[in-house]
Amino acid sequence: MLEAMRRGVWGSTLGLVTALALCASGVAAQGGPAAVDGATMRQADAPANVGDWQSYSRTWDEQRFSPLDQINDENVGQLGLAWYADLETFRGVQASPLVIDGILYNVSIYNVVTAYDGKTGEKLWTYDPEVGPEWARLACCGPSARGIAAWNGKLYIGALDGRLIAIDATDGREIWSSQTFPEGQEYSITGAPRVYDGKVVIGNGGADYGSRGFVTAWDAENGEQVWKFYIVPTDPAAGPDGEASDSAMAIAQPTWSGRFWEMAAGGGGNAWDSFAYDPELNLVYIGTGNGSPHSWHFRSEGKGDNLFLCSIVAVDATSGEYRWHYQEVPEEDWDYTCTQPIVLADLTIDGKVRKVAMHAP
């Protein structure tokens, strides 16, 4: 019986519904289930991949657009129910499922992952990481999960309790698990992990409780940490963190005032769900969150822009080192939180093609 059932959130009428678009490719790829790699992600619109949804927003540029056209505004009214599956919870299930080689992978509350046959709806397996029910209280917005990631036959779960978990896409067997934030501190994970050329990138939440936000990257094969990037500075007397963000913290430190690391118990800025990747530039774009506490006057004595709150921060995908930033809301006195999806595109502006990042926080 699923952990969700044990918690007494039985049988809602919520259903997982598939239409013809998800059933178009029912044959597994030669590489096995979820054989996602750099080639398939770079060629998402190729005939062999166009029916898949291999990442949280389908592609690394986060556009969430499928070029499939078999279902359109003229025939959509002819569609009917192919199958459904009860999600066995009354809570909101926010995740974007992955669809790869005819298999649909969905994550529900408390990070329970289920694989379904895309044609028939047959449940193939379920993995329950057994996240403690107390995390529904410790996380700001309940035990939600926004998505999972796939790479080289594995699925990746950013668990509410801070574990980054890799499971086998064939049977849901756990392969490795790494703790991404310090235990006993006010962090949580509700956002979807992303995999960029073999590195799993994950953020966290907790600014509303006084944590210091950061983003980490992990080796997709063995779960070892590759780099760590802090979003806001801390006590300058403590010296550099010894992390990829050290040069960025030298920029951010002068924009804060007072003993904010004590008042805010961290400063906030947590990037809980906003990443994009440009493989040509080898840059990861991070959308950062609100400050802690919310009020700038208490947080920083009413002084300074408080970098890198509510910003887009670009870091090197290989090393995690700072490249550039744009702060969308200096001071961030209003809990606006710049953690909404970042969309990358090549746009012609004044007759010149430019790489742009679009963001609507």
Q: Is residue 233 part of a domain?
A: yes
pLDDT of amino acid 265: 64
Residue 23 has pLDDT above 80, yes or no: no
Whether 338 and 202 map to the same domain: the answer is yes
Q: Is residue 178 part of a domain?
A: no
pLDDT of amino acid 4: 36
As a whole number, the mean pLDDT across the chain is 90
Q: What is the pTM of this model?
A: 0.91
Q: Is residue 86 part of a domain?
A: yes
- Closest by CA position to 333, among listed 287, 302, 288: 302
Residue 200 has pLDDT above 60, yes or no: yes
Whether 36 and 159 map to the same domain: the answer is yes
Residues 265 and 299: their CA atoms lie apart, in Å, by 10
- The angle at the Cα of 20, spanning 17 to 21, to the nearest 5 degrees, equals 95
Give the range of the structural domain holding residue 328, as residue numbers without chain letter. Answer: 197-361
Instruction: Say what the alpha-carbon torsion angle 279, 62, 142, 268 is, to the nearest 10 degrees.
Output: 60
Whether 157 and 219 map to the same domain: the answer is no
Whether 8 and 93 map to the same domain: the answer is yes
Whether 139 and 5 map to the same domain: the answer is yes
Q: Is residue 73 part of a domain?
A: no
pLDDT of amino acid 6: 33
Whether 55 and 93 map to the same domain: the answer is yes
pLDDT of amino acid 119: 96
Residue 27 has pLDDT above 60, yes or no: no
Whether 226 and 139 map to the same domain: the answer is no
- Closest by CA position to 304, among listed 257, 262, 247: 257
**Model pLDDT for residues 38-61, shown as the tens digit of each residue:** 999 999 999 999 999 999 999 999
Helices (H), 90-242: 135-138
Whether 120 and 214 map to the same domain: the answer is no
CATH number at residue 23: 2.40.10.480
Q: Is residue 181 part of a domain?
A: no
Residue 199 has phi, psi (to 5 degrees) of -120, 130
Whether 50 and 162 map to the same domain: the answer is yes
Mind telling me the catalytic residues?
335
Q: Tell me if the bond preceding 293 is cis, omega within 30° of 0.
A: yes
The answer to whether 130 touches 111, Cβ cutoff 8 Å, is no
Which pairing describes strands 225-230 and 214-219: parallel, antiparallel, or unpaired? antiparallel
Domain closes at, from 124, 158, 193? 193
- The angle at the Cα of 165, spanning 21 to 228, to the nearest 5 degrees, equals 110
Q: Is residue 151 part of a domain?
A: yes
Q: Which helix (H) or strand (E) holds 284?
A: strand 283-287
Report the share of the chain in percent with pLDDT over 90.
83
**Model pLDDT for residues 203-258, shown as the tens digit of each residue:** 999 998 889 999 999 999 999 999 999 999 999 999 999 999 999 999 999 999 99
| Domains of the chain: total | 2
Whether 113 and 247 map to the same domain: the answer is no
Q: Is residue 225 part of a domain?
A: yes
Domain closes at, from 141, 164, 193? 193
Whether 236 and 326 map to the same domain: the answer is yes
pLDDT of amino acid 22: 41
Q: Is residue 75 part of a domain?
A: no
Residues in the chain: 361
Could you tell me the two tokens for 107?
A: 């994550």
The answer to whether 96 touches 66, Cβ cutoff 8 Å, is no
Whether 9 and 139 map to the same domain: the answer is yes
